[in-house]
Each structure stands twice: as structure tokens, then as C-alpha cells.
Structure 1
Amino acid sequence: MMGEANLLLAALIERAGLSNAGLAKRVNMLGAEHRLRYDHASVARWIRDGATPRDPGPDLICQVIGEAMRTTVTRADIGMERRPAISSVPLPQLVERATALWRGDQRDKVAGPPAAGAEAVAPVWEWENPPDDIDVAHDGRRQVEPVDVRRLRQLRDRYQEMYRRVGGVPVRPRLIAALNEHAAPLLRDTYDNRTGRELLRAAGGLAALAGVCAYDADQQGLAQRYLFGALRMAKASNDKRFGAYVVALLSTHALHGNQPRLVVQYAEAALRAARGHLGPALAADLHSLAGKAYARMGESDGCQRHMRESELAAARIVLGDEPAEASYVQPGLVETQVAEALRRLGDFSAAQTYADESVRLAGGTHLRGRVHRYAGLALIVAQRGDVDQAVHVGTQMLEYAEGMESGRIRDRVAQVAGALRRHARVPAVAEFLERADTDAQLRGF
């Protein structure tokens, strides 16, 4: 069984100016007493499958690459640690790992499923706990200026709006290119501690959005790796609100993967770690995510507790006072989340009350948000047996979703179609299903 691609090794081989065959030849020369017989195919296997050669192979690889780059290279640097790291990734390794991921993604070399269990919890635990980064200053070729940081933030804002209009699939390649062409060189340039934290905050924002787009394109292992990297950048930036935003994205990702207990761990960690820094918009979203997770587990008390806190936080939101990333928390979002949780618990009447309100407020949100709100209402009225109303609301959902290339929008359309399919003999339902199926085929990827 193939392992996960070793992007760190691939990136360092390229930066050292070596070919696969050249690396193998030099390793064989250094290890002549061990009668090593590596070739370009061996190196390709180390990269593609994440395979690790027997000792002293990894140390010889470090020596060859280190001599070519005139620096010290460790097993961790080439992705061949003797054992998994327990402590937080040091900042220099963070930059290398992040940029290697971006480069590998641009070349379609990234694979592997999402982490689970302790591996999925560790990055959030490390974000929440010491040690912190005392100084993130770096010496490189050119001085990073405030305008460089602003440009990264502007790129994130632009691609976020594109994502909301057309979906993550078409936006993803543009984001990957921006990370490689703009963010990666800046992270290796010269900056002091203050500028460095702002730079890491801006680069992390782009990386987090790339994770969202990977999630929307059904590349879940890749999405998680982007989000973990963004969370480590959030820690280095010393911006607790930004870190909480990334954890909210991880919570959404875990909810999609039907891991409700992990969602609760994530959300409650963010609420705890960012206490005193967290604005009401992100607090409302984190509480609603935890509430939805408790509803998935059938735990009404936990659901109700978090949903109450979510509504209280939402009432304190002042638009414009939240970080740019939290702009997705718009009027009606909490009602959408509460409606979904109540639907899961089987309280359809109360769920519809909240869903009706979320749709009433939908005019002030972006197209993607409208699709989710109308889908939520359509599901509820379909489950209550109001077929005509479900078709009416579902048709509006399809109109808003038209032209979007998005796995999550595809899933929402499929959920509504699935709820109505048992009524397929009703002409209006049959017409809706035909249109939904056609849209699904057009949205396939």
C-alpha cells in the first residue's frame, strides 16, 4: 500500500539543483562501504510513496542535499523522521513544509486520506498550548514591505469572493498559483518580528482558503493538510482570532467527515483558547458547529446548550468589527445552523421556524449562502410531507446554485433530491428531479 507523498524531499531535491538520478548516484558514492544500489526509480519511490530507505540511507540523503545547499539538513527536513514529532513544528520547518505542500499541489503530487484520532487532534492542541514563537524574524534576499503583506490579503479577499460565486473547483488552481508565486517567496525573504507575524497571518489566510477550496473539490486529505498548516501559521502570527477561525474550518471539515466528537473537541478548544480575543461572529459559529455535532450524536442537551450560546453571541455581532475571514457569519447563518440541528433531532416544527427566518434574511448574503439556506428549508418541509412547498423552495435553490462547481453544493442538491425522490410520480417532483440530476452531471468533477 502506498504511503503519503514526501513533498519535503521533492522540494529540497529541487532547491538543491539535483536530479533524482544525481541524488541516487551521490548517495551510493557516500555509502559505498554498504554497497548501496539506489537509482532514479528509488528516489521516485521515496517521493511518491513516502518510502524510507534503511539506515544509513536517510542520513546520507541529508548529507548530499546539505552539501549541495551549503546548510545542515536533518531527517525531519527531508520528511524521514525516526519517530513522529510530538512538539509543535519549529517555524523554519513550518515554512518548508507549507511551501513544499503548495508546490506539490501545483504539480498534482499530493495524496493521502485525512488524519484521524490523535493525529487529527494534535495540531489543535499544539496551537492552544505552549511553547509559542518568541521571534519570527527571518533573513533572506529582500526586505518584505507592508505593501507585500497587503497584496496577500487582497488576493485572499478576491479569491474568497470568487469562491462564493462560482465554487471552490475553479478557484483552487488560482489560489495554489498565488501561494507559490507570491506567498512562498515572501516567507523566505527578510522581515522583522512584527512584519513576520503579519506576513504569516496573511499567508495563513490564503492557505486556509486553499484548504476550503480543496474541501469543496472533494480532496479531503489535502484540505486538512492545508488547514493544519494555516493553523500553525496562525500560532506563529500570535493572532488568536485567526486561529479560532481556522479551527472553525477544521470543525466544518470534521462535520463533513461525520466525526461529531472531533467537531466538539475542535470547537470547544477554540472557544477556550481564544477567550478574551474572540469576536461574537466566530463565537456564534463555533457554538453552532458544536451544537450540530451534538445533534448528530443525538445528545439534545449538549445541542441546546451550544445553540443558546450561539444565538446569544449572534445578537452581539457588529458588522465591520470582525476579521475579514469571519465575513461568512452573516445575518441568518445561526438560524440556518439551528434549523439543521433541530431537523437532526426530529423537531421539524421548530426547525422550520428557524429555516423560514434564515431564508427571509437570505437577500443580504452571497449566492453560496443562499443555496444552503434554501436547501435547509427544502429538506425540512420535504420531511414534514409538504411536497409542493419543498419543490418550490428546492427550485429556488437550483436557481441560485446554477453555474457553481462545488462538491458541497452538489451534496446539498443531492440531499434535497433524495428527500423528494420517493414522490417521483408527482409531475412537479419528477420535473425537479430531472433538473437536479442534470445539474449534478454538469457539476461533476
Structure 2
Amino acid sequence: MAEPNLLLEALLARAGISHAGLAKQVNIRSADLRLRYDHASVARWIRDHAIPRDPAPELICRIIAERLGNDVTLADIGMVRGEATDRLPSLAAAVEQGAALWHGDSRGRVPSRIFTGAKAAAPVFEWENPPEDDLIARLGERRVDTADVAMLRRARTHFQEMYRRVGGMPVRPRITALLTQRAAPLLRASYDNALGRQLYRAVGGLAALAGVCAYDANQQPLAQRHLFTALRLAKASGDRQFGAYVVALLANQALYLEERRLVVQYAESALRAGGPSLSPALVTDLHALAGKAYARMGDARASHPHLRTSATIAANLGQHHGHDEVSYVQPGLIETQLAEALRRLDDLPAARIYAEESVRTAGSTHLRGQVHRYAGLALILTAQGELDRGVHVAERMLDRADGMDSGRLHDRVAHVTRALRPHAGEPVVAAYLERADEYLYLKES
């Protein structure tokens, strides 16, 4: 199934050209060839990513360029044929691709294919390695000022809090609207190198959060593209800590998709590229992700060194970690990660110690994080045969999940429910299953 041509759709919207208007102009400019395109033809070019026969693609470039007042290439409209479509874009082209993604997302046109293998690794390799973006200053119709950057930063903080309260599904449309209407025009505006780096950093933070929200809504191809965009913006910003954070998000998604080797590759790249500049909070999370990936492979020998490193660093963490994005590493989070890894390695006693500590400190985090902590402990207690306490903990998990529109929390509740279902003959379990099934049904309907 072909993915929509988001580049063409976004450029047409920016130029103010309708589908019918584009088709008419192409027909007029190729009258000698008697081409007969209409609005449905343009819709198909976008929906199916179809490329019309020559000379239509070049004519489309010319028509849009005349309206925008700048050059437009075949790559800009997404109509390059063959292997050239896989070439990594320049920063300017990456900005336009990001803007097209945000515009498409806001209109319900989203990617349908997840990248794996070399294509999934390439953006991280490009972030980690030269060349750097030494000159990002540009001239535009208006000048960006520090107030614009501050507005974007405040918006990210606001949307992050919304996400933690209600889940990613209702929040992402607000983020993509802001990226489309405010952030993309700012990236095309005028700024010097120093302010430009701040701008890329601020927009990248919003793009990363859009990826988190798409991940939470189980729109994995879309989440991956948002995170790749955020990573490219992170490289332009020159902020290695932020880039490593985005790579950690990609690693977390890869773990969910059971791309375990990719998780390790991502974590190692982030640790290597960030080096001593990375905050301890991010370092401990990256080691925990690698440890979890090895645990899912059943490789205890490779997993334990990462888990030990993560636990040692976590024990010395303070409350504040410097960067807003890394604020998710709150007391008890790493214990939750370690408990899951040890449960996968079938070391239930050790897993339980960490899980109980994560629940003990749950009050210091948001409700969303508490759901994951209670779910982890419930799974361990159930595996140990302590059904009464396992159900009690599972009930507290449901209390906190209620009212959140989140695919990931739905998955956690479903996982605990599957673990308890074989014990449905026990009255306490049956009562929990009735409530959990109602929750899952309402979230699926």
C-alpha cells in the first residue's frame, strides 16, 4: 500500500492551489499533448503517491514555484522516481518534509509503513555522525525573536502536562496544529545561527512530543516519522542531550515493536554520541532500555550489566535533571524498568523488590506513570500465585487508568487481565475481570 504524498499536499495548501486549479493549469500548459487531468487526478497523486507521466511533474513544480516565489524541485513535490527517493535530505528539505508531515497529520493523512533494518537505523547514524549543521541562519519575510521561541517552549510544557493527564489521543491534534500554523512558518522565517539553534530545539521538542502521542495512540508509523523529524531538528540545534533523548524515545518504540536488536543499537548510539554530556537520568534510562531488550532475548548475561549500571546511577539521582524532557525519569521509574526486565528473566523475587519500590514511590509521579507501576507489580504477584494481593494492586491500576484515552495504558490493563484470566474461578479474580473487561470494551468501542 502506497503512502500519501504529503509533500505535494502540503505545498498545494501553502501555495493556495486547489486540486481542480492544479489540474487545470497542467492541462493548459500541456495543451499540445491533450492531457486531461481533473481534481480526481490530483487527489490520486496525493492519496496513492502516483506520479503522472512527463511532463506533468515538471509542470507541477513550475506552477507551485510561481505561486510561492521560489524554486520547487521534483523532490520537493515527492515525485522523484527510483532510488533517488531514498537520498537523505538537506536541512531545508528536512524542514519541508517535517512541515508536510505535520500538515498531513492534522488532516488525517498519515504514513502507513514502519521503517525497519537499515532504514530505521539511518536517521540515528546521520544524527550521530558528521557533517554537522554549521550554518543554519537564513533570511525570510519576518524575523524570529526570543519571544517566539519562548512561546514554543511553553506550549511543549503545557501539552506534556495534558498528555500525562488524559493520554496522547486528544493531545496530538493540538500539537500538530501548532506545528503547522506557528512552528513551520517560523522555521522558514529569518534568524541568525544562535537564535536558529534555539528555534530548532524548541520545535524539535514539540515534534518529539507529537511522536510520543502518536506512539501512545498506537499509530506507530506516524510516531516513528515524528521522532525522525525531531531527531533531524535536534542535530540542527546542536543539543546532543536532546538528540539522545529522542533516540531513547525511538528505542522505547522499538522495544514495543519487539525490534530488540534495534533497541540495543539505538541505546548504544545515544550513549556513545552523548558521551559525558548526557544527564545521569538519561544514561540510566538508556541502560535500562538495553537491559530490557536483552532480557526479552533471554540473554541474562548481556542484560545484567546494563541493569546494574542503571540501578547504580538511579540510586544517586536527584529530583531535577536539567532538561524538561528528561523529567519523566522520576523516582521509581527505573525500578519499574528493572522489575520488568527481571520478570522477563524469570527472577521473580528480585523483580518483586524493584516493583514494590516503584509502587512505594508512585505518589511522586503522574497518574499515567502510576498505572505502569501498579501493572508491573500485579503481573509479578500473579506469577507468584498471590492472587488476592495481585487483584488488589490491579484494581488500583484500573482506578488510575480510568478516564485516560491511551493505547499504551489499554495494553497494560489488557496484559494484566490476560495474566489473571486463567484464575477466573476465584471470586476475587472474577470481580476484577468483570470490571477490567468493561474498561477494555469501552476503550475499544
Instruction: Report the equivalent of 2:188.
Output: 188
Q: Is the 8 A contact 1:404 1:443 kept in 2?
A: no
Partners of 1:52 and 1:305 in 2: how far apart?
Answer: 51
Q: Is the 8 A contact 1:87 1:126 kept in 2?
A: no
Number of corresponding residues: 444
The alpha-carbon deviation at position 85 of structure 1 amounts to 5.3
Partners of 2:84 and 2:123 in 1: how far apart?
Answer: 13
Instruction: Report the equivalent of 2:272.
Output: 272
Partners of 1:316 and 1:30 in 2: how far apart?
Answer: 69
The alpha-carbon deviation at position 316 of structure 1 amounts to 3.9
Unaligned runs of 5+ in 2: none
Partners of 1:132 and 1:170 in 2: how far apart?
Answer: 36
The alpha-carbon deviation at position 35 of structure 1 amounts to 4.3
Match of 1:174, as an amino acid? R
Secondary structure, in 3 states, of the residue corresponding to 1:276? Answer: helix
Instruction: Report the equivalent of 1:383.
Output: 383
Q: C-alpha deviations, 1:190-216, integer Å up to 9, x for none? A: 111111110110011011101111111
Instruction: Report the equivalent of 1:58.
Output: 57
TM-score (norm 1): 0.96
Instruction: Report the equivalent of 2:101.
Output: 101
Partners of 2:123 and 2:54 in 1: how far apart?
Answer: 29
Q: Is the 8 A contact 2:378 2:394 kept in 1?
A: yes
**Comparing 51-60 and 71-80, the one that deviates more:** 51-60
Instruction: Report the equivalent of 1:9.
Output: 8
Q: How does 1:251-330 map to 2 (within 5 A)?
A: 251-330=251-330
Partners of 1:219 and 1:41 in 2: how far apart?
Answer: 28
Instruction: Report the equivalent of 1:353.
Output: 353
Q: Is the 8 A contact 2:200 2:234 kept in 1?
A: yes
Partners of 2:399 and 2:171 in 1: how far apart?
Answer: 21
The alpha-carbon deviation at position 33 of structure 1 amounts to 4.8
Q: Is the 8 A contact 1:26 1:64 kept in 2?
A: yes
Instruction: Report the equivalent of 1:75.
Output: 74
**What is the alpha-carbon root mean square deviation over aligned residues?**
1.6
Q: How much identity, in percent, do the aligned residues show? A: 60
Secondary structure, in 3 states, of the residue corresponding to 2:275? Answer: coil
The alpha-carbon deviation at position 147 of structure 1 amounts to 1.5
The alpha-carbon deviation at position 154 of structure 1 amounts to 0.9
The alpha-carbon deviation at position 324 of structure 1 amounts to 0.4
The alpha-carbon deviation at position 67 of structure 1 amounts to 2.5
The alpha-carbon deviation at position 359 of structure 1 amounts to 1.0
The alpha-carbon deviation at position 107 of structure 1 amounts to 1.1
Instruction: Report the equivalent of 1:409.
Output: 409
The alpha-carbon deviation at position 86 of structure 1 amounts to 5.6
Match of 2:119, as an amino acid? E
Q: C-alpha deviations, 1:11-50, integer Å up to 9, x for none? A: 1112223222222232234344544333222211111111
Q: Is the 8 A contact 2:281 2:321 kept in 1?
A: no
Instruction: Report the equivalent of 1:43.
Output: 42
Q: C-alpha deviations, 1:87-146, integer Å up to 9, x for none? A: 642121122111111111111122312112211111111111111111111222222111
Q: C-alpha deviations, 1:223-265, integer Å up to 9, x for none? A: 1111110010000000000000001111111111111111111
Q: Is the 8 A contact 1:200 1:236 kept in 2?
A: yes
Q: C-alpha deviations, 1:44-69, integer Å up to 9, x for none? A: 11111111223333222212222232
Q: Is the 8 A contact 2:321 2:327 kept in 1?
A: no
Partners of 1:70 and 1:168 in 2: how far apart?
Answer: 38
Q: C-alpha deviations, 1:326-377, integer Å up to 9, x for none? A: 0000111111111101111111111111111111111211111111011000
Secondary structure, in 3 states, of the residue corresponding to 1:275? Answer: helix
Match of 1:66, as an amino acid? A
Partners of 1:394 and 1:321 in 2: how far apart?
Answer: 31
Instruction: Report the equivalent of 1:426.
Output: 426
Unaligned runs of 5+ in 1: none
**Comparing 198-207 and 357-366, the one that deviates more:** 357-366
Instruction: Report the equivalent of 2:128.
Output: 128
Match of 1:254, as an amino acid? A
**Comparing 431-440 and 65-74, the one that deviates more:** 65-74
